[in-house]
Structure 1
Amino acid sequence: MKVVGVTEFGGPEVLAVHEVPEPHAGPGEVRIRVRAFAVSPTDTAGRAGQQDTSGVELPYVPGMDAAGLIDEVGEGVEGWSAGDAVMAMALPLGGGRGGAYAQELVAPVGSFTRVPAGISLEEASTIPMNGLTATQMLEKAALSPGQVLAVPGAAGLLGNYLVQLGKAAGLTVIADAADKDRALVESLGADHVVERGPGFADAVRRIVPEGADALADASVQREEALPAVRDGGVSIDVRFWEGTGERGIRFERAVVRDEYRSFDKLDTLRRRVEDGVLTPRVAEVLPAAEASQAHRRLEAGGVRGRFVLVW
């Protein structure tokens, strides 16, 4: 089968299509004939060698989001059949069955669910990893309805999902946006939209002088955004930052690989899409062979939604 991967780590140009042996579903697994896979910053970091890839067999295949049709069902798997349209989270590293940039993805039960009704496979491929990251961040924040969530980076896909799921949980959401993204962020339902940039924390404090109850840092602003949080509040990071320990703030880190088999959460995301709460967003659909272009454009910044690659 074909995969998109790297035999040496580096810039976008190292990505290429490779032929590798076809995998098969084992007990408790299905095999998904991948039709679409989303491109995320986690993928570009892996390709560049910024993650621990020791012991990884080459070519290294990135990708954490896939959608396609089940074409093989392993022993002991019940409730799933060949032809079922599913979306899945993949783990290129850390005990998974390989990355999503592959024509065939072997997935354990729990790592996939049905594609939401009414959307395409391309749209579905944008949901698992970012949706589960947003879900985990909100769980770690542990806010009650009416409390205040601050979301820098709201125009990015993770930020989109944080705003929409935060509002669905009854939170008051303060989000940021550049002028060109204001209409998008307002459409997500944020209660307040402030200017993106170094003045984010001050803008939050003008709305809630005591500070937000939680910061879901979708843009990795860290110390710059931290003053937005009240004393004793919580800050959740997506890149393993341990925080400063100041003002009694609880520092949490989102680790989405922990959600690899979180079927109930993934299926809740499916229902959120079907209910109109969560909006998948595709920036552009490209052929799989153009993965290097997608990585290059993603790293250049300013992308709204996800590049999705298709076989």
Structure 2
Amino acid sequence: MMKAVAVSEYGGPEVLRVVEIPEPHAGPGQVRVRVHAAAVNPADTLLRIGDIDSMLVGRLTPPYRPGLDAAGILDEIGPGTATDLRIGDRVMAMVSQVEPSGGAYAEHVVLAATQVTHAPAGTSHVEAATLPMNGLTARRALDLLDLAAGEWLAVSGAAGAVGGYAVELAKVDGLRVVADAAPADEELVRELGADVVVPRGAGVGERFRETVPAGVAAVLDAALLGADVVPALRDGGQVAIVRRPGERGAAAGLTGVTVRDVWVPDYQHARDKLDELRVLAERGRLTLRVAQEFPAEQAPDAHRRLEAGGARGRLVLTF
């Protein structure tokens, strides 16, 4: 048996409970990770409150387990599995909450070998757990936008997890970046690499446009602002959205522009993309920001802290 944090009923943070469930083992094409750290994401709360119930029923048996990011030690390799990983390696992975593996809030998780790569050298498990899902979301968004070096990208929510990685990856790609920030976050966003920082809040699209009078080529809307970012765009501009239409909190009002729907599960098995993020982290091009660690038993507190807002860096559960 193993310890996990799961929900048997939907509701507030208090429904997250430590449970004992059967310990899984790696089959063909799979590896098992002894999870030491699992980051806490807004998407985890969608499972907890029941917003993705239709994706769980019929596929998994309750209790349901949240968690999209895992870091730890590889401790099993399934028969016939092709991988350069070895037992004992420090690894990280993006995990799916809606597949048989279950989410990352557990002592062990079994994954396809294509989901797992080495953790960045010199990082802790907690630091490594901050990278996979949000890093891959930013990478997927930029790949969909497919901008040429030197073009202008606007990033909303630049001090957040996706937004911060988006700024740093955009600079790796040779883009020019205008980003938003609260006064307390302006220095952080500049350190991440933004060329210009404007005040966040209502009217940010107009402030982006004042900075780039000809209009930016694209907006990566990590803050879910929707129509408010449209004034920033030049003719033919694009907006990358990180929450799908119809999902709770999804942006609205994006008419007359090209919308790129960033569905990060498209990169769930893109091990090459995740490994590129590892290399960039090792080179200091990506910043792994931890706001606070919580023992697994304090998962409700971690969710309350997430929902209170304002965390700069990731909240991480330890197992």
Taking the TM superposition and a 5 Å limit, the aligned residue runs for 1:39-50 are 39-50=40-51
Structure 1 residue aligned with 2:57: 54
**TM-fit CA distance, 1:79:** 2.0
Going from structure 1 to structure 2, the CA distance change for 1:96 and 1:166 (only over 3 Å counts) comes to farther
- How far apart are 1:299 and its partner, in Å? 0.6
The one-character-per-residue Cα deviations of 1:159-217 (angstroms, maximum 9, x if unpaired) are: 11000000110101010000011111111010000001012111111111221100100
The match for 2:35 is 34
Question: How far has the Cα of 1:252 moved from its partner?
Answer: 1.1
Partner in structure 1 of residue 283 of structure 2 = 275
2-side partners of 1:111 and 1:285: how far apart? 24
Cα displacement (A) at 1:244: 5.0
The worse-fitting range, judged by mean Cα deviation, of 33-42 and 75-84 is 75-84
**What aligned pairs does 1:214-253 form with structure 2 within 5 A after superposition?**
214-241=218-245, 246-247=255-256, 249-253=257-261
Task: For 1:39, give the aligned amino acid.
Answer: V
The one-letter code matched in structure 2 to 1:147 is E
Q: 2:151 aligns with which of 142, 147, 150?
A: 147
SS for the counterpart of 2:157 is coil
Counterparts of 1:229 and 1:44 in 2: how far apart (Å)? 32
Q: Equivalences for 1:124-273 in 2 at 5 Å?
A: 124-241=128-245, 246-247=255-256, 249-273=257-281
SS at structure 2 position matched to 1:86: strand
Unaligned segments of structure 1, at least 5 residues: none
Q: Please tell me the residue identity of whatever aligns with 1:306.
A: R
The equivalent of 1:286 in structure 2 is: 294
Residues 1:63 and 2:67 aligned together: yes
CA-CA distance at 1:259 after TM superposition? 1.1
Matched residue SS, 1:123: helix
8 Å CA contact retained: 1:90, 1:96 = no
Q: SS of 1:225's equivalent?
A: helix
Retained in 1: the 8 A contact 2:69–2:130? yes
CA distance in 1, matches of 2:22, 2:168: 41
Q: Secondary structure at the match of 1:234?
A: strand
Give distance in 2, aligned partners of 1:296 and 1:92: 20
| TM-score normalised by L of structure 1 | 0.97
Amino acid at match of 1:305: G
SS at match of 2:114: coil
C-alpha distance in 1 between matches for 2:177 and 2:65: 37
What is the distance in 2 between the residues matched to 1:97 and 1:119? 25
CA RMSD of aligned residues (A): 1.2
1:194 aligned counterpart, secondary structure: strand
Q: Distance in 1 between matches of 2:203 and 2:280?
A: 33
Following superposition, the deviation at residue 16 of structure 1 comes to: 0.3
Alpha-carbon offset, residue 80 of structure 1: 2.1
The whole-number CA distance in structure 1 between the counterparts of 2:100 and 2:62 is 15
Identity, % of aligned pairs? 50
Question: What is the letter of the counterpart of residue 40 of structure 2?
Answer: V
1:75 has 2:76 as partner: no
Q: Distance in 2 between matches of 1:80 and 1:131?
A: 21
Matched position secondary structure for 1:162 = helix
Look up the SS of the partner of 2:28 in the other structure: coil
Checking the alignment, whether the CA contact within 8 Å between 2:154 and 2:177 is kept in structure 1 is yes
Alpha-carbon displacement from aligned partner over 1:41-68 (angstroms, at most 9, x marks no partner): 0111111111233223111000000000
Task: Output one character per residue of 1:53-92: Cα deviation in whole Å (capped at 9) or x when no partner.
Answer: 3223111000000000011110122322211110011001
Q: Distance in 2 between matches of 1:49 and 1:97?
A: 19
TM-score w.r.t. length of structure 2: 0.94
- The one-letter code of the counterpart of 1:16 is R
The Cα of 1:96 is off from its aligned counterpart by: 5.2
SS of the equivalent of 1:145 reads coil
Question: Are 1:201 and 1:228, in contact at CA under 8 Å, matched by a contact in 2?
Answer: yes
Q: Given residue 25 of structure 2, which amino acid in structure 1 is its aligned partner?
A: H
1:91 paired to 2:96: yes
Q: What is the CA distance between 1:32 and its match in structure 2?
A: 0.5
Provide the residue aligned with 1:8 in structure 2: 9
Q: 2:69·2:95 contact (CA, 8 Å) conserved in 1?
A: yes
Map Cα deviations across residues 223-270 of structure 1 (whole Å, 9 max, x no partner).
Answer: 1122212221111111113965643x2111111111111000000000
Q: Which residue in 1 is equivalent to 2:26?
A: 25
Q: CA deviation at 1:124?
A: 0.3
2:311 is aligned to 303
Q: How many pairs align? A: 309
Contact 1:34 1:102 in 2 (8 A): yes
